[in-house]
Structure 1
């Protein structure tokens, strides 16, 4: 590694660690027999106020991302720490496989991220930190692939989450609804087949995709926030999900505003998600 790259790498580490009180952990997954990194952002005063328990929000990264994305790629440095302080949240940003969509593959033992998040990571965070370990004080949101993860995990596990959000989320993994080039669409479809095998891309949709979980969402009463930029390549999947929720009489917040599939958009979106989640938490006290 060149001296320039070493310096750049060290600068990145310093900027990541300096952004408030952030712990970096390695959490072992028995389901996949591997360790995965996760960053935990704590509000100021966490160490000094030993009697206080805190709500927790899981913030998921997108495809080909990693656990540190929300700290290193966001266009407002230190935003997670600011939001943790503003609302008194513990913010958890886990890392998962690059195109895993946060589900359990029926074909690959190395892709069991639903099990990891719900049965391994959450219990470990609740054990290690002073969380309010109840659904009424736990929420989940994410961008792109992470939006898909947040909506699907909350739909399948309403005992764990009171609210869920999606920013530019993959609400339907059917690449025919994505505004992307054929090469990219074909690559994603190939990856999906390797992990899932043959699934139904037409209604009734597979439960491996967010639009296939509308009936579960209708039953579980989770508070939902979905937003997407009008220039995003996933806008049609978000409009499809919005329409299906409306047709089923499912209360939810839905927003379209100018923007594309960019960190500038997600940086602006995250504070709205934290405010929404805060209001849900306040409403169940």
Structure 2
């Protein structure tokens, strides 16, 4: 009994061993652009008490995913909470359509996710949470389709994001570059044509509905970029293409290839690396 009491007393004396925990809110945001309600999870650190304002990270899910994926599917339980606590920032994980790529479709009113994220969700978060509502204090990253969304949205809206990242991202929506079965490739191409029209420009010069079509804007914007992908990922060729194009036009960026595939094990390991990179650019009060 004395030994247990000594251990408990030691824990009380060590400030580094805190039992404080981040908090997760599930919210609903109505999209006027799409006339529907969407969910998001908002993680706030234990220091969130109204006495200060916080930098914000928007963390995007992949295709056929959900707003809760980053909380429920990572192989380290509570990873998002731990990182919100460690870096003392707000982390927002929004939910979008299953294969929407985070863009605004010119043909479908139900796919206006660029407008939703930029003009509806971010203002909602800034109005309802104690954020530092400025470019210097906002970053965005995501996995797979969410990597495409993060790179595309940051390239098109540099006034909103100081830094952006992609984990195993769809850097080019051209499924001919994906190492996938023909049936899957055909399905995704059919979905893309429904959203973008039959005359999608898959070859150079690329459409601006795909991340590689925005490399010139990335050079102009000065947004800090991190792109990583596993060497066994079916999207690796699209990431190498993006890397080569950024090198060719002289856009500073961090590019990483490491062991791994298109898996939650990979993304669980990747997210702390992204936070370490992104936090370097996020301004605090």
Q: Give TM-score, length-normalised by structure 1.
A: 0.91
Q: Could you say which residue in structure 2 is the equivalent of 1:225?
A: 226
Matches within 5 A, 1:88-99: 88-99=88-99
Over residues 166-185 of structure 1, what are the superposed CA-to-partner deviations in whole Å (9 max), with x where a residue is unaligned? 00000000000000000000
Counterpart in the other structure of 1:39: 41
In the other structure, the counterpart of 2:171 is 171
Supply the distance in 2 between the matched residues of 1:260 and 1:228 (Cα, whole angstroms): 8
Aligned counterparts, 1:195-206, within 5 A: 195-197=195-197, 198-206=199-207
Match of 1:170, SS state, is coil
2:68 matched residue in structure 1 = 68
Please say if residues 47 and 88 of structure 2, whose CA atoms lie closer than 8 Å, have aligned partners that are also in contact.
no
Q: Distance in 2 between matches of 1:83 and 1:220?
A: 27
Helix, strand or coil at the partner of 1:25: strand
What is the deviation of 1:99?
Answer: 0.1
The 2-side partners of 1:98 and 1:21 are apart by 26
Query: Any stretches of 5+ residues in structure 2 without a counterpart?
Result: 1-20
Task: Show the 5 A alignment for 1:77-88.
Answer: 77-88=77-88
Q: Deviations over 1:150-198 (max 9, x none)?
A: 0000000001000000000000000000000000000000000000002
Report the RMSD for the aligned CA atoms in angstroms.
1.1
For 1:209 and 1:89, locate their aligned partners in 2 and report how far apart those are by CA, in whole Å.
30
Contact 2:105 2:196 in 1 (8 A): yes
Contact 1:20 1:78 in 2 (8 A): no
Aligned residues: 264
Aligned equivalent of 1:138: 138
Show CA shifts across 1:246-273 (max 9, x none): 0000000000000000000000000010
Structure 1: gaps spanning 5 or more residues: 1-18
Q: Normalising by structure 2, what TM-score?
A: 0.91
Instruction: Give the whole-Å Cα distance in 1 for the aligned partners of 2:30 and 2:139.
Output: 22
In the alignment, the residues of structure 2 paired with residue 28 and residue 117 of structure 1 have an alpha-carbon distance, to the nearest angstrom, of 11
Give me the whole-angstrom Cα distance separating, in 2, the residues matched to 1:41 and 1:266.
18
Q: Which residue of structure 1 aligns with residue 185 of structure 2?
A: 185
Counterpart Cα distance in 1 of 2:76 and 2:42:
18
Q: Tell me how far 1:81 sits from its aligned partner.
A: 0.7
Q: 2:31 aligns with which of 22, 29, 32?
A: 29
Alignment correspondent of 1:114: 114
Q: In the alignment, what sits opposite 1:15?
A: none
Deviation at residue 20 of structure 1 after TM alignment: 3.8
